[in-house]
Structure 1
Amino acid sequence: MDFYKIWFSMLPISDSIKLNLLDEYIDEETIYRNINFNHYKMEKLVNKKIKSNISEEEITKLARYIIKNNIGLVTYTEDRYPSSLRQINDAPYCLFYKGDIDILNKKINIAVVGSRKCTSYGREVTKFICRELSRYDTCIISGGAYGIDSEAHKSVIENKGVTCGVLGCGIDVIYPAYNKILYENISVDGCLISEFLPGTKPLPYNFPRRNRIISGLSKAVIVVEANEKSGSLITANYALDQGKDVLAVPGTIYSPQSKGTNKLIRDGATSILDTITLLEGLDINMKKNKNFSDTLKAQIIRLINDKPTHIDEIIRNTDIDTSMIYELLFEMQFNNEIMCILGNYYVKNI
């Protein structure tokens, strides 16, 4: 673990100042070895913070802790740093992570966020969105919080997709506590990331700040449910400031959790109505479906005609896993290719 990067990450100065220093002095070691310089661009307070008394013992202790707990560290100047984050204002100097951070430079990153106090409608829509997006070369970004965030991560994992959790606390702090197993599962094929030093508590003001990273990593932000004061709207505003697309799920006017999303749609966000509006809103090529090939779909279509066909007959006459059959039937219904009638019978749409 690089001693100088650990030291630089511990300095109590802003990310923008750190990046300015790196731009002028090339690397962290050069800055460390010139710690007593008087930088003409910086105020006395900043100089004092740079010269703050962080002992070698403290730096070494943190480095050992990071290694012992399998925590990774990537900094702004490294190739592995998420390229999309370099494009935003106030980009984080470093990210602590667990899992495979390289996916953030390989996948189409889509943020799915929403209310902590979500409704059953919000949960079901989140499952639908994440199931559909998991069929493509995507990484679903969310905040690991209660409600919609957790539902998004869980749904992606269940559908064998890839997801990334952006934390508002140290990478070694489990918040909420009941998400311990979820966090472990996320880091198997995806990753957890945090800009905060290990051990940082989940303080309230950390979460609005981390939202700029959720949107910054993503091609677009999907807001499933949000009341009028939801932190998800902060993420949406960051996305708009960063030039990203915002999509929202419409909801009943009687639900407080739909007031924020309905206002986003009123103000120009793309409304998610079905599979087609979801994928078109994200500019995802529907033909690049990674889970269901045309061959599998053809097997289904050959069995379903103008005469009602029972689900048991479809399962019996296809060489496809049952769960995949149900998912494909669901997709075909959303695309108005077939319809389900009473008794689990399917017919072609005329």
Structure 2
Amino acid sequence: MKREDRIQCVALSSPSYPVLLREIEDPPQTLYFIGDIRLASMPAVAVVGSRKATSYGKWAAFEIGKRLAENEMVVVSGMAWGVDSYSHQGALELKGKTVAVLGCGIDLCYPAGNRKLRNQILEQGLIVSEYPPGYTAKKFTFPLRNRIISGLCAATVIVEAGLSSGSLITAERAAEQGRHVFALPGNINSIHSIGTNKLIQDGAYPLVVVDDIFDVLGVKKKEKENSFNHLGEDEKKILSVIMQASEVSIDFICKHVKMEPSQVIPILTILEMKGIIYSSLGKIFVANFK
């Protein structure tokens, strides 16, 4: 029997029912799942946000998922397009554990285009839903499932959100459940960051670096290896310019390191492949997002 055919369920009264989820005001009476239900009781952080995420949001979600997995935290999200997908993928990148909470029956893939991601999650994670097999997604099922996403976790991180984003519902549920809420600060000119910036204004923790989560939760974090020591001289020179200016153009770099674009561009490509920098909308940024 294929793993995706092994649908099981756990009742609220069962000792196997997720520990933190049991504590919320309105826990599902029954959870349907495929995978190892024990993952739902392990230390976990929810990472959610806009389906129409920017390149910055996708990068941040991926890096947050990786760093959480690196510290043996389970990444919980909703398997939606955008931020959700990238946070799952970040955890999977390091062979970490991740939980997808669906707003439809456990046997269905929503969105349908995320079949590959669903299969990856099934390989090393868990998929859960309060809806029985065959139950199709409705408009109301997603706001309801958000309480499960936050309910499984000690903290929830909102990466990007407009004012009408469903991820703000997740943040609200997390706050009601007495869980920590983090929001990723964003450009004040971006409609994708209005919601997260407003959350910070209202009292959410600003996520300056991922390790802020571990500090608030009292989790001992693993130190990241400083890969800058292994860079070549030209790589270090270019990286130094980027780090000092925060965001730069290729022309700006060339001017300050006195090198031609034909020399700088290959080095930038190598730095990006190493995960040290990333580019967006013609600008170069440092990706040292601990």
- Which TM class, normalised by the smaller chain length? 0.7 to 0.9
Out of 63, 68, 71, the residue aligned to residue 136 of structure 1 is 71
Give the direction of change, closer, same or farther, for the CA distance of 1:327–1:104 in structure 2 (3 Å limit): farther
Partner residue of 2:180? 245
Residue 272 (structure 1) shift: 1.0
The answer to whether structure 1 residue 202 and structure 2 residue 137 are counterparts is yes
One-letter amino acid of the counterpart of residue 134, structure 2: G
The answer to whether structure 1 residue 279 and structure 2 residue 279 are counterparts is no
Partner residue of 2:35? 99
Does the 8 Å contact 1:247/1:281 carry over to 2? no
Residue 68 (structure 1) shift: 9.3
| Structure 2 residue runs without a partner (length 5+) | 237-270, 279-285
Partner residue of 2:167? 232
Residue 154 (structure 1) shift: 1.5
Give the direction of change, closer, same or farther, for the CA distance of 1:174–1:332 in structure 2 (3 Å limit): closer
Out of 10, 19, 26, the residue aligned to residue 90 of structure 1 is 26
Residue 327 (structure 1) shift: 6.2
The answer to whether structure 1 residue 269 and structure 2 residue 269 are counterparts is no
One-letter amino acid of the counterpart of residue 184, structure 1: N
Does the 8 Å contact 2:65/2:89 carry over to 1? no
Partner residue of 2:84? 149
CA distance in 2, matches of 1:254, 1:327: 27
CA distance in 1, matches of 2:200, 2:106: 34
One-letter amino acid of the counterpart of residue 72, structure 1: Q
Partner residue of 2:242? none
Give the direction of change, closer, same or farther, for the CA distance of 1:74–1:328 in structure 2 (3 Å limit): farther
Give the direction of change, closer, same or farther, for the CA distance of 1:206–1:214 in structure 2 (3 Å limit): same
Does the 8 Å contact 2:161/2:192 carry over to 1? yes
Partner residue of 2:10? 74
Cα offsets for 1:1-27 (capped at 9, x unmatched): xxxxxxxxxxxxxxxxxxxxxxxxxxx
SS of the residue corresponding to residue 70 of structure 2 reads coil
Residue 326 (structure 1) shift: 4.3
1:47-58 superposed matches below 5 A: none
SS of the residue corresponding to residue 192 of structure 1 reads strand
CA distance in 1, matches of 2:276, 2:55: 23
| Structure 1 residue runs without a partner (length 5+) | 1-66, 312-322, 336-350
Please, what TM-score do these two structures have when normalized by structure 2? 0.77
Which aligned segments of 4 or more residues in structure 1 are displaced greater than 3 angstroms? 307-311, 325-335
Residue 280 (structure 1) shift: 2.0
CA distance in 1, matches of 2:103, 2:116: 18
Does the 8 Å contact 2:53/2:82 carry over to 1? yes
Partner residue of 1:193? 128
Does the 8 Å contact 1:270/1:281 carry over to 2? no
One-letter amino acid of the counterpart of residue 186, structure 1: I
Cα offsets for 1:17-63 (capped at 9, x unmatched): xxxxxxxxxxxxxxxxxxxxxxxxxxxxxxxxxxxxxxxxxxxxxxx
- Residues matched between the structures, number: 247
Query: Using CA pairs below 8 Å that are at least 6 residues apart, which structure has the higher relative contact order?
Result: 2
CA distance in 2, matches of 1:228, 1:334: 26
Give the direction of change, closer, same or farther, for the CA distance of 1:94–1:245 in structure 2 (3 Å limit): same
| Identity within the alignment, % | 40
CA distance in 2, matches of 1:70, 1:218: 25
Cα offsets for 1:237-285 (capped at 9, x unmatched): 0000000000000111111110000000001111111244343244321
Partner residue of 1:164? 99
The answer to whether structure 1 residue 217 and structure 2 residue 152 are counterparts is yes
SS of the residue corresponding to residue 149 of structure 1 reads helix
Partner residue of 2:260? none
Give the direction of change, closer, same or farther, for the CA distance of 1:70–1:276 in structure 2 (3 Å limit): closer
Backbone CA RMSD of aligned residues: 2.9
Does the 8 Å contact 1:101/1:190 carry over to 2? no
Out of 190, 196, 200, the residue aligned to residue 255 of structure 1 is 190
Residue 334 (structure 1) shift: 5.3
Cα offsets for 1:109-154 (capped at 9, x unmatched): 1000001111111101111211111101211000111111111111
Please, what TM-score do these two structures have when normalized by structure 1? 0.64
CA distance in 2, matches of 1:329, 1:109: 28
One-letter amino acid of the counterpart of residue 250, structure 1: P
Residue 70 (structure 1) shift: 1.2
Structure number with bigger Rg: 1
Does the 8 Å contact 1:97/1:193 carry over to 2? yes
